[in-house]
């Protein structure tokens, strides 16, 4: 090239791309069935994407839970499974990884996140107590209720507004919390249920500053803070990117600093920790640990495996280490941002700012003409599958369930369809296909009609509820 040419080449190259910090070693074929087949599959599934067969799905964005691709190191770790009933090597590796990266003293393994939620809720909630938190999560709240607690949402109001651009919409509103504590008394607060990136708010993070203030408040009132650490690594990334003073810290440093201000954490390792199954519960207080270790034997398995095979614990220990690497987290969240920014460019209504693990389509923005008791987000989720074989999930009135006191739908402010991106699984081309599918469904929004629920399970109804179209 001549020097003049080199110069223009250099100018064109101003924008530098980054790429995934891995290459692909094994592939799993996927295929798209015909539109007629999809229509039949959807009808058979009662218009609920949870009831579809995965073979009928093209790009599966139902969840980022247990859907990660494991690394070659993790697969090698599988061969190192020590399947001793008690005291497996892999347990000690896992315990060490949790201590090293999350910083808690004691760890109890569980089969997945809800196993840990069950143990914690049964151990630390006294019937009649309140559990304030930054927006509910389905299984978390149910375990708190089953233990006799009442969940109280004390998240900042901004979290309920999908247009609000606040960088930390997962924050706890300390005024709301203060009012509650004044009203019911600190002794009637079981603990603070704090989630790192709030799933139901659109994957929105909590700031270090907010936790620092919360810690101060809780220490003054003698209240413990337990962290839902399921997506805390992604939360740490947002702190690094958005909060003053953290740009030069590593994800691992931020994670540890955050956890150090809490009393313990539960984990669905199927998310951040890059495994297909697993979970853990970690606390600093030895007496509490002892109680949890006694209970795990009843519900999960011995305290050195908690429902996991030795090989699963090994893959998890390795996954914890891989999960906190800065280049991994950047590419993981970066892929979510890539999809979200495409949709924003096309002015499609999504929750802003874009969250860490998923894009949340704002179904109210698609279907202002469909009332909430005709489940607009369920409609949108079904339409997207029908158009393109892309599977998302409803996060609106169906997921919110019924109020146990009044028996009526909860009618949440947010009516969302979640497109969760599995970690290390899909390419940028898949994201392009998804974005175009959403655009087509959006363009056809005016002709779309609502659904009626024809079967409703009592608990966590979104998993198995069935619907029929209204015409």
Ligand X SMILES: *Cc1c(COP(=O)(O)O)cnc(C)c1O
CB of 329 to ligand X, least distance (A): 17
State which residue, 263 or 445, has the beta carbon closest to ligand X.
263
CB of 278 to ligand X, least distance (A): 8
Query: Which of 237, 442, 462, 467 does the annotation list as catalytic?
Result: 462
Q: At what angle do helices 113-124 and 138-146 cross, to 10 degrees?
A: 30
Residues that bind ligand X (CB under 6 A): 65, 112-114, 137, 139-140, 195, 199, 228, 230, 268, 270-271, 279
Q: Could you tell me the sign of the dihedral formed by the alpha carbons of 386, 390, 393, 397, in that order?
A: negative
State which residue, 139 or 464, has the beta carbon closest to ligand X.
139
Other CB atoms within a 10 A radius of the CB of residue 458 amount to 7
State which residue, 90 or 110, has the beta carbon closest to ligand X.
110
State which residue, 65 or 335, has the beta carbon closest to ligand X.
65
CB 234 within 8 A of CB 203: yes
Place of tokens 């390419």: 427
State which residue, 113 or 392, has the beta carbon closest to ligand X.
113
State which residue, 226 or 467, has the beta carbon closest to ligand X.
226
State which residue, 349 or 396, has the beta carbon closest to ligand X.
396
Residues 6+ apart with CB under 8 A from 60: 54, 67, 391, 422
Residue 272 annotated as catalytic: no
Query: Which of 49, 67, 110, 138 does the annotation list as catalytic?
Result: 138
The DSSP letter of residue 231 is: T
Query: Which of 332, 395, 423, 461 does the annotation list as catalytic?
Result: 395
State which residue, 42 or 316, has the beta carbon closest to ligand X.
316
CB of 237 to ligand X, least distance (A): 16
Tell me the residue number closest to ligand X, measured at CB.
113
Query: Residue 226, SS3?
Result: strand
Other CB atoms within a 10 A radius of the CB of residue 163 amount to 10
Place of tokens 């009843």: 298
CB of 469 to ligand X, least distance (A): 30
CB of 370 to ligand X, least distance (A): 27
CB of 395 to ligand X, least distance (A): 11
Query: Which of 85, 286, 411, 455 does the annotation list as catalytic?
Result: 85
CB 148 within 8 A of CB 126: yes
CB of 229 to ligand X, least distance (A): 9
CA distance 431 to 334: 12
Burial bucket for residue 17 (CB in 10 Å: 0-12, 13-18, 19+): exposed
Residue 443 annotated as catalytic: no
Proportion of the chain in helix, strand, coil states, percent, rounded to 5: 45, 15, 40
CA distance 346 to 326: 30
Residue 35 annotated as catalytic: no
CB 47 within 8 A of CB 377: no
Would you state the torsion angle of the CA atoms of residues 82, 85, 87, 92, taken in this order, to the nearest 10 degrees?
50
CA distance 81 to 140: 30
CB of 112 to ligand X, least distance (A): 3
Query: Which of 136, 137, 375, 426 does the annotation list as catalytic?
Result: 137
CA distance 286 to 387: 53
Residues 6+ apart with CB under 8 A from 134: 153, 154, 155, 156, 159, 170, 171, 172, 193, 194, 195, 198, 201, 206
Residue 271 annotated as catalytic: yes
Catalytic residues: 85, 137-138, 228, 271, 395, 462
């Amino acid at each position: 090239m001549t020097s003049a040419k080199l110069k223009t080449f250099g100018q064109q190259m101003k924008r530098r791309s980054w790429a995934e910090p891995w290459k692909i070693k094994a592939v799993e074929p996927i295929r798209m069935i015909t539109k007629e087949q999809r229509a039949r599959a959807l009808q058979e599934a009662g218009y609920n994407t949870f009831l579809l067969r995965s073979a009928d799905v093209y790009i599966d964005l139902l969840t980022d839970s247990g859907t990660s691709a494991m690394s070659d190191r993790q697969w090698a770790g599988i061969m190192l499974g020590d399947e001793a009933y008690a005291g497996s090597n892999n347990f000690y590796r896992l315990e060490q990884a949790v201590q090293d990266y999350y910083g808690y003293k004691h760890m109890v393994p569980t089969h997945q996140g809800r196993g840990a939620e069950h143990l914690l809720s049964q151990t630390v909630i006294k019937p009649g107590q309140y559990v304030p938190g930054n927006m509910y999560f389905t299984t978390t709240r149910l375990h708190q209720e089953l233990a006799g607690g009442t969940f109280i949402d004390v998240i900042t109001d901004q979290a309920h507004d999908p247009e609000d651009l606040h960088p930390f919409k997962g924050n706890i509103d300390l005024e709301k919390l203060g009012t509650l504590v004044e009203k019911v008394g600190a002794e009637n607060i079981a603990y603070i249920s704090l989630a790192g990136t709030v799933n139901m708010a659109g994957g929105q993070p909590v700031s270090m500053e907010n936790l620092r203030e919360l810690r101060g408040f809780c220490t003054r009132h003698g209240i413990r803070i337990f962290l839902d650490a399921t997506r805390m690594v992604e939360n740490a990334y947002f702190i690094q990117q958005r909060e003053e003073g953290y740009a030069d810290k590593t994800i691992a440093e931020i994670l540890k600093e955050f956890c150090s201000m809490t009393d313990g954490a539960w984990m669905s390792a199927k998310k951040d920790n890059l495994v297909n199954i697993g979970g853990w519960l970690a606390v600093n207080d030895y007496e509490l640990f002892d109680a949890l270790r006694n209970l795990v034997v009843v519900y999960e398995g011995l305290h050195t495996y908690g429902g996991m095979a030795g090989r699963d614990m090994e893959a998890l220990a390795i996954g914890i280490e891989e999960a906190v690497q800065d280049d991994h987290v950047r590419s993981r969240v970066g892929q979510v941002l890539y999809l979200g920014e495409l949709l924003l460019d096309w002015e499609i209504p999504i929750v802003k700012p874009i969250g860490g693990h998923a894009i949340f389509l704002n179904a109210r923005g698609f279907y202002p003409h469909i009332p909430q008791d005709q489940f607009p987000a369920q409609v949108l989720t079904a339409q997207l599958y029908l158009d393109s074989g892309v599977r998302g999930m409803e996060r609106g009135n169906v997921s919110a369930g019924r109020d146990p006191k009044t028996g009526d739908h909860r009618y949440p402010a947010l009516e969302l369809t979640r497109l969760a991106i599995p970690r290390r699984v899909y390419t940028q081309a898949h994201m392009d296909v998804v974005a175009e599918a959403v655009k087509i469904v959006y363009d056809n929004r005016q002709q779309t009609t609502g659904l009626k629920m024809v079967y409703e399970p009592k608990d966590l109804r979104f998993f198995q509820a069935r619907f029929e179209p209204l015409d």
